Chains A and B, each alone.
Chain A
């Protein structure tokens, strides 16, 4: 099992460009998450999907959109990138049960110039 995979690993964008971050999990998990991590601020939830076909906003959704393509895949789109979106983005998945483990991908380091 690969666990949670993310592509790309690194990306540099210019202000106003768009891109999609891809995430896939092979653990048959129901719930998937997108976080961003900035220095000194821990991880902040952008969007989550409790099950296939559903998505909900997290703490910092502005400037992002998501798609739960199927049970395995959950993508994050930046329609018009801004320098404030420079961050490390993590995708995660979990079964959704109490005490279960949330598995994180390796992250995408995004720089917006």
Chain B
């Protein structure tokens, strides 16, 4: 069974600051996804990365997939209060349909 670790577990920052959260595993993934989840709702997909070294940008969010496809990072520039939520990474092995989720990073952006 794959094990995905995410760090930090909790992060509280002021609006306007930059931050990076990490997703790490000893397993190689064929694809990796990042989700954001708000209280009382289901996770919403932000991005899927499939190629080692791939970098994807979504407005102020930058996602990177490690060269060895074992890790990923999410960088947020100039955080806004609307970025508050639980950030989950999920990896799939061997092009399988099922994703294993990490425990998440809970981000609070204060005004």
Contacts and interface: CB of A to CB of B under 8 A. Distances in A.
Interface of A: 4, 31, 33, 35, 40-45, 48, 50, 58-59, 90, 92, 94, 96, 98-107
B43 A99 contact: no
Interface residues of B, number: 24
Secondary structure call for the B interface: loop
A98 B99 CA distance: 12
A105 B104 CA distance: 18
B103 A90 contact: no
Contact of A104 (B4, B42, B102): B42
Contacts, number: 54
B40 interface: yes
B42 A105 contact: yes
A44 B98 CA distance: 11
A96 B97 contact: yes
A74 to B, nearest CB: 14
Contact of B31 (A41, A48, A99): A99
Contacts of B9: 40
